[in-house]
Structure 1
Amino acid sequence: MMQDRDFEIFLATAPGQEAALYGEIRLKGFRQPQAVPGGVVIRGGWPEVYRANLWVRGANRVLARIDAFRVTHLAQLDHRARLVPWATVLRPDIAFRVEASCTGSRIYHAGAAAERIEKAIRRTVRAPCAPDAAIVVRARIDHDLCTISIDSSGDLLHRRGHKQAVNRAPMRETMASLFLLQCGYAGNEPVFDPMCGSGTFVIEAAEIAARLNPGRSRHFAFELLANFDEATWRKLRETRSTRAPTAHYYGSDRDAGAIAMSRANAERAGVTAYTSFQQTPISDIRPPCDQPGLVIVNPPYGTRIGDRAALVPLYRALGRTLAAHFTGWRVGLVTTEPTLAHATGLPFLPPAAPIPHGGLRVTLFQTAPLA
């Protein structure tokens, strides 16, 4: 049975965050993790697919690679696609769709490749095909090697299922969790976001500290597959290793609506006991507790909200306030503009490469503990 087979599982992330995702996956005990462009590959069976969707905070989606073969022309793809064990994973009563990509291959027309694979599935499983189907079959033809994967996640994994209210330029939860890890956050120190928006950084930090599974509040596409093992999945969901955090997690924002959103999202996430939010302008922020920890902030970018030049005073005020009052705290700042980051006057370490985010490219700037 495919349920017992050992195959490759690909966990996708934003380019530039592969190393951070690898660090998370390695700590969670998955077998043979390997960072590759665009994500991390592990090995396992379908129970590992379930666990990856339920446990991993930084992945955008989880792909189960069910077959791979070499093809050089469409007739060959037509024949080889009919040999894929579709009936072991796809149900005749559940619609599917095929998405294909071609890179450096003699088969160069992705639409034609997708049509051939779709026809093979309809012939072997007799499942309907629909453009909005929840089950997505992904075919990647890279230098004549065709890899067939099932997208086991469905909706992107940043959609945790317990965050409903968002602000105008939200940070995705998956990216936020990896930025926290890149800042050295391990769940045992306070975290403060002075421009918290809808509370993403604060809620992610509290969930990490409480060991709450990020996928606990949602459904996944693998629940619609032919080989779905409901008993295994139920046992995984019911197995919890939560703990009470030893620190507290704080957010502030000058906007009352943002504070209301953050509190509502924290309540739905079940972390109200570990989080506090209050309305405060940047110049008035002060350390929320005696123990130094991590300040992490995603201020407005001039390319999306407001004008870049008009934001310089905001960044300058943030930097001056942190430098004056947050001795011993580390700072992580996410922005599209190095000039805005440097306007804070904070002693940032050399940053890593920018990361694509919502059509932009953002960079994480970090400091050592402020002196």
Structure 2
Amino acid sequence: MIAEQFDIFLVATPGLEAPLAAEARELGWAVEPQTGGVTIRGGWQDVWRANLMLRGATRVLARMGSFRALHLAQLDKRARKFPWAEILRPDQPVKVETVCKASRIYHAGAATQRIERAIREELGAPIAADAQIVVKARIEDDLVTISVDTTGESLHKRGHKQAVAKAPMRETMAAMFLREMGFDGQQTVLDPMCGSGTFVIEAAEIAAGLIAGRDRHFAFQSLASFDATGWRAIRDGQGRDSKPDPRPMFFGSDRDAGAIRMSQQNAERAGVAGVTRFDCCAIADLQPPEVPAGIVIVNPPYGARIGNKGPLFGLHAALGQVLRERFAGWSVGIVTSDQQLARATGLPWKPPGPIIAHGGLKVRLWQTGPL
């Protein structure tokens, strides 16, 4: 039988566990930061709320139970006794993923087959490689821990961003970088290389009190534990009464007119077109908007994926010069994989943040105090 309260693992982008823990704590959970994420404790309503509300988690795993298994025959027997019917529905396809570590069962593929067979034969649910419902088995020190991925598509897919630029910043990362910059919804935010507008739109949503997952479907809606009435009550009760400044407070610019069109369309779908402004503008022509000084945050090209690194030193130097000369009082954050590019700006950086995995690269947030 599944306990009413269980461990819930909030998966973080590696390197962003600390701001995710802070966010979860602010939402009322007791948190246990770990490598790769944060553990909280709760029931199914906590799972629903975590998926809906958290801006920094990439997915939410519900840890359903565990048992010891020293060999495959024992795994087969105990997997058949696991209370699958309390978690999974027989009409919903399931996929199983297994990791083995320091255990006598070392063949993940063979372990996956045993668990899949138990689900198929004991519950009657079909097994499919493209199933939205994913059961994750971790076998470590001969202990088999069964979790279910309650999210489905990664939580960075908020549900309203259709147009995407090259090497985009994920929404989950953007939210945590804004948090690391001290953004709480009150400050002006400007991104002078905005691409598809992620930093600007994420900041505007936070300021407007818009819920991260308001426009999307989650895997937990197809689980046996799902209660549509309870879910509606949670979803409809989480909006924050907020009266954002009616003037644009969140600004993006880019030299690419296509990027500006993308950003504007994404902002409209997200419901924040009224408080955002996007302009086609080269770095040399960048001017501070006529609002109180706030945060400049930018994810410029690093040269690792897009183009050649040589010209990027000139770009970073030009960006740094414009910010130093025109943006007095603004704090600056740059996400980059290359400390030489960061230093080429000539900006007075604090020690850089932790290394963060981003699309196969290792990036860091470099930030200044008010210039």
The verdict on a shared fold, with TM-score over 0.5 as the criterion, is: yes
Give the match for residue 286 of structure 2: 285
Alpha-carbon distance between aligned partners in 1 of 2:106 and 2:227, rounded to the nearest angstrom: 37
Report if the CA contact (8 A) 1:56-1:214 is conserved: yes
Give the aligned residue type for 2:200: V
- Size of the alignment, in residue pairs? 368
Deviation, 1:353, is 2.4
In structure 1, distance between residues paired with 2:172 and 2:57: 6
Q: Structure 2: how far apart are the matches of 1:160 and 1:79?
A: 40
1:88-99 matched pairs, under 5 angstroms = 88-99=86-97
Unaligned runs of 5+ in 2: none
Residue 71 in structure 1 maps to residue 69 in structure 2 = yes
Q: Distance in 2 between matches of 1:222 and 1:262?
A: 31
Structure 1 residue 27, shift from structure 2 partner: 0.5
Trace 1:16-165 onto structure 2 (pairs within 5 A): 16-30=15-29, 32-165=30-163
Report the 3-state secondary structure (helix = DSSP H, G, I; strand = E; otherwise coil) of the residue aligned with 2:287. coil
Q: Distance in 1 between matches of 2:224 and 2:159?
A: 24
Moved >6 Å (runs of 4+): none
Q: Report the Cα distance in structure 1 between the residues aligned to 2:266 and 2:362, rounded to whole angstroms.
A: 26
Using the TM superposition, name which of 214-223 and 64-73 deviates more.
64-73
Instruction: Provide Cα deviations, 1:309-340, integer angstroms capped at 9, x if missing partner.
Output: 12111111000000111111111100111111
Percent identity reads 58
Equivalent residue number for residue 345 of structure 2: 344
1:186 aligns to 2:184 (yes or no): yes
C-alpha displacement of 1:301: 1.4
Q: Specify the alignment match of 1:263 in structure 2.
A: 264
Tell me what 1:304 maps to.
Answer: 305
Cα deviations across residues 158-182 of structure 1 (Å, max 9, x unaligned)? Answer: 0110000000110100011001101
Q: 1:361 matched to which residue of 2?
A: 362
- 8 Å CA contact 1:212–1:242 kept in 2: the answer is no
**Within 2, Cα distance between the matches of 1:51 and 1:290?**
35
Query: 2-side partners of 1:9 and 1:84: how far apart?
Result: 19
Q: Once the 2 structures are TM-superposed, how far is the Cα of residue 69 of structure 1 from its aligned partner?
A: 2.2
**In terms of mean alpha carbon deviation, does 233-242 or 352-361 score higher?**
233-242
Q: Is the 8 A contact 1:163 1:269 kept in 2?
A: yes
**Match of 2:81, SS?**
coil
CA deviation map 1:233-253 (0-9, x unaligned): 111222222412247111011
Counterpart of 1:9 in structure 2 is: 8
Of the structure 1 ranges 274-283 and 141-150, higher mean CA displacement relative to structure 2 is found in 141-150
Shift of residue 208, structure 1, vs aligned partner:
0.8
- Per-residue deviation at 1:289? 2.7
State how far apart, in whole Å, the 2-side matches of 1:181 and 1:63 are.
23
Using the alignment, how far apart are the partners of 1:366 and 1:106 within structure 2? 47
Q: Which moved more, 1:338-347 or 1:100-109?
A: 100-109
1:213 aligns with 2:211: yes
Aligned letter for 1:263? Q
Give the structure 1 partner of residue 175 of structure 2: 177
Distance 1:242 1:87 in 2: 39
Is the contact between residue 91 and residue 225 of structure 1 (CA under 8 Å) also seen in structure 2? Answer: yes
Q: Give the distance between the partners of 2:230 and 2:299, measured in 1 at CA.
A: 39
Q: Contact 2:249–2:291 (CA<8 Å) still a contact in 1?
A: no
Report the Cα distance in structure 1 between the residues aligned to 2:291 and 2:12, rounded to whole angstroms: 35
1:210 deviates by 1.1
Instruction: Using structure 1 for the length normalisation, give the TM-score.
Output: 0.97
Task: Report how far residue 33 of structure 1 moved.
Answer: 1.1
Normalised TM-score (structure 2) = 0.97
2:10, 2:60 within 8 Å by CA — same for their partners in 1?
yes
Q: Retained in 1: the 8 A contact 2:60–2:151?
A: yes
Matched letter for residue 11 of structure 2: A
Q: How far apart are the structure 2 equivalents of 1:207 and 1:84? A: 42
Equivalent-residue separation in structure 2 for 1:353 and 1:103 (angstroms): 27
Give ranges in structure 1 of 5+ residues lacking alignment.
Answer: none
Q: Secondary structure at the match of 1:347?
A: coil
Report the CA distance between 1:71 and its aligned residue: 2.3
* 1:144, distance to aligned residue in structure 2 (A): 2.2
**Deviation at residue 146 of structure 1 after TM alignment:** 1.7
Once the two structures are superposed, what CA deviation does each residue of 1:80-135 show, in whole Å capped at 9, x if it has no partner?
21222100111111100100111222211111111111111112111100100111
**Corresponding residue SS for 1:12:** strand
Distance 1:105 1:302 in 2: 42
Residue pairs, 1:212-231, within 5 angstroms: 212-231=210-229
Question: In structure 1, how many angstroms separate the alpha carbons of the residues matched to 2:139 and 2:324?
Answer: 51
RMSD: 1.2
Give the Cα separation in 1 of the matches to 2:303 and 2:355: 16
Which moved further from structure 2: 290-299 or 66-75?
A: 66-75
Return the letter of the residue paired with 1:318.
Answer: L
Q: 1:321 is aligned with what amino acid?
A: V
CA contact (8 A) 1:352 1:364 kept: yes
